[in-house]
Structure 1
Amino acid sequence: MDALRGFSLLGILIVNIAFLASGYRMAGMAEPAFQSSLDWNVRWVVTMLVENKFYLLFSFLFGYSFTLQVDSAARQGRPFVPMFLRRLAGLLLLGLAHAVLLFPGDILTTYAAVGLALLVLRKIKPRSAVVLAVLLTAALALGFVLLALLATLGLDTAGTVADTAAEAAKSDTALMASVGQIVTEHLRKLSLIILFRVFFQGPAVLAACLIGLAVGKLGALRDISAHTRTLGTLQWIGFTLGLGGACVYTLSAWHGTMHKFWGESVDLVTAPLLAAAYAATFLRRLPSMPRVARVLAAPGRMALSNYLAQSLICSLIFTGYGLGLVDRVSPLLEVLMALGIFAVQVVYSHWWLKSHRYGPVEWLLRFLTYWRRPTPARLTRAPHSPAALPE
């Protein structure tokens, strides 16, 4: 699971770096300075294969981990509800700071809200959790169909972030300015996308979390070899329907061959299938690639620290916090930079975990969760000894 979480973290960075690098991307537009065939090919590939897939994988793992936390609290005789509420409060505080200071596209605040729903639904049966996830996804897809129909009738239902070149340029100017102006711009974007978070992203994240909760309750990932046929089926369905839906979504997002809301409705249904195909392929192949597993497990163990660090590094590169390269980096270079940043995080994570049980932000979240200093914070035994593994 740590390796799969690390894999998801890489996909999230490849998507997020484009939004951190340009106000135009946050407004749903292509950067006007980069219009070559290579630029468009990179946008196509990232949109089709990465966008809206890896945050679903991360959400699945959030739901799966929830079941592990419930079981752990039961084994240790700890009251789970107050402990988990403190954890959600910690996530909310971290998410708000992240959104205001670094990246309005933060997802930690969404996890904090969705976590409350998981707490209410923690006794739900696996089959009921899957049914509820399907119903949520279908309702979201129908919502975008409604928006598409309204747009077809001539009613402007454009995105919540200002969807004009002038507004995007204004955003870029603010991001290149002082710290106060950057924070003000982040707050402005947050005020515009809050309805999207409440009515669309939140339910989509909850649906993925419910699938993870169902899988965790069934214990399906304890022995991957016992479920190879199921994983193979997920691969076949996910890659067939998922890639087809991704093509539709990419066409609607970039080339206007159909209204973008129609593409969104298709993507809501098919992106989870493609994400499931990625996860199934990863889980089936990982036992034969132990080195890859070890490489990805370390950044996955401290995913929260790395997620926040990614936004910090990108902000120092692209905004007035640092180099101020907003809209000066091509789509291809963004992807290469993402790979480079992640490679550094892999090395750093392995180095850090040689002497620490938790990542630095994970340590803080554990303190807020248990309301006491996590001990031991530093390893006193070899990193691979049982006593040194995370609780």
Structure 2
Amino acid sequence: MSGRIAALDVLRGVAILGTFGTNVWVFTHPRGAAGFLADFGAGSGDTATALLQMISNGKFLGLLSIMFGIGLAIQHRSAERRGRPWPGWYLWRSALLLFEGLLHYALVFEFDVLMFYAVVSVLVAYLVGRGPRVQLAWMAAAGALNLAVVGLITAALLLTGGTAVGDPGLAPVGDSWWAGVQARVEHFAVFRAEGFLVLPLSTLLFLAGARLFRAGALEDSPRGARLQRRLVAWGLGLGVPLNVATTLAGPAWFAVDRYVCAPLVAFGLLGGITLLVNALRAEAGPLRRGLTAVGRSALSCYIGQNVLASVLCYQWGLGLAQRWGHLGPWFTAGVWLLVSGLLPAGASWWMRRFPRGPVEAVWDRAYRAPQRQHTVAA
């Protein structure tokens, strides 16, 4: 397989905008992150809210995790072709991602995923070059650990009535941006708890993404199409009904919904979107071009959408959440539509003029700087 993979950037773009569909509920809550956490897993009591949350809850975060695994496999394949040691400089890439995630967490958003992806990428970098048996053993162990944690959470919620995950008792963040920074630093353990919880699941999805890439899951070929159809059949044919069932079953099943059913649907999305992109032979239209631009500047867009939502919703910005948050899912959907319209338009404008997104450009220079010094010293 040579050349750029047609579906790769589209998948990344969908994952980025879909992930914002999960995160937007944090921004649009009238009490911000503190209120979101207090209500997390408690059930919406509103059909429209339940349906919208079901669409976004965990699925695109799962797809984003799979895409990170695919990206890691691409980096590994490139290193092998060039005869470079592995993981080698990839560990510096992980360190930069960790630093970027820390900055994003502290300055912008309580539920950043980049920090945890950086940690998982180090482990998976050492596993991606190992044999299939070793990788399958790690996947089985990670999957079993995830199921055990989900089972414990679900059992506890069923025994206690499953009315809520639990209010951490955080005071609402102040009106200033600096107050938000201070709150994120002070309550690091609370805001980062879910990230630690899903480390086994992330490991499983990273490894699955790497293995699917090697198996040809993104290929525009008969082999690729067969695998894509299987992903759709299992991921959507089984995952969606299970997802609906756990949503309707009540808040006690939210962990099964978010950490078991949603990742299953993510595999279906991977297969379905790839199958669709590979089937479209005509020139890309505005939608596909916009998603491709977002996918090519994924880090910039991931951070940018959270910055935009902060400006729109928080009190140090336009303060729309306190004014319109009482409208519930309609306000949330409106913010998602607005940001998801601005982002592809802005990304398309930028990518027509520059080879990389703004964050990617800075990141690439930081990644290459020590390599140049190492080459000069040698």
TM-score of the superposed pair, with normalisation by structure 2: 0.84
How far has the Cα of 1:369 moved from its partner? 1.9
Change (3 A) 1:9 1:151: closer
Change (3 A) 1:267 1:307: closer
Change (3 A) 1:13 1:224: farther
Change (3 A) 1:350 1:194: closer
- Match of 1:324? 319
Confirm or deny that 1:85 pairs with 2:91: yes
Tell me, what secondary structure is at the counterpart of 2:16? helix
- Match of 1:359? 357
- Match of 2:278? 287
Confirm or deny that 1:221 pairs with 2:218: yes
Confirm or deny that 1:140 pairs with 2:135: no
How far has the Cα of 1:303 moved from its partner? 0.5
- Match of 2:101? 95
Measure, in 1, the Cα distance between the counterparts of 2:68 and 2:187: 26
1:29-56 residue CA offsets vs partner (Å, 9 max, x unmatched) = 4999x97xxxx33322222222101011
Letter in 1 for 2:206: C
- Match of 1:72? 78
- Match of 1:21? 28
Q: Match for 2:369 among 368, 371, 374?
A: 371
How far has the Cα of 1:237 moved from its partner? 2.2
| Number of residue pairs matched by the alignment | 354
Measure, in 1, the Cα distance between the counterparts of 2:355 and 2:141: 39
After the TM superposition, which of the residue ranges 310-319 and 68-77 deviates more from structure 2?
Answer: 68-77
Gaps of 5+ in 1: 375-391
Confirm or deny that 1:336 pairs with 2:334: yes
Letter in 2 for 1:67: A
How far has the Cα of 1:372 moved from its partner? 6.2
How far has the Cα of 1:152 moved from its partner? 4.8
Letter in 2 for 1:371: A
Measure, in 1, the Cα distance between the counterparts of 2:260 and 2:156: 20
Confirm or deny that 1:45 pairs with 2:66: no
Tell me, what secondary structure is at the counterpart of 1:272? helix
Note if contact 2:73-2:210 (Cα within 8 Å) is conserved in structure 1: yes
1:58-86 residue CA offsets vs partner (Å, 9 max, x unmatched) = 11111111111122233344444342121
Superposition CA RMSD, Å: 2.9
Confirm or deny that 1:10 pairs with 2:17: yes
1:130-152 residue CA offsets vs partner (Å, 9 max, x unmatched) = 45334422321222222333455
Gaps of 5+ in 2: 1-7, 373-378
1:74-115 residue CA offsets vs partner (Å, 9 max, x unmatched) = 334444434212111111111111111111100000111001
Measure, in 2, the Cα distance between the counterparts of 1:102 and 1:128: 38
Identical positions, percent: 26
Confirm or deny that 1:276 pairs with 2:267: yes
TM-score of the superposed pair, with normalisation by structure 1: 0.81
In the TM superposition, 1:192-271 aligns within 5 A as 192-198=190-196, 200-251=197-248, 255-256=250-251, 259=252, 262-265=253-256, 267-271=258-262
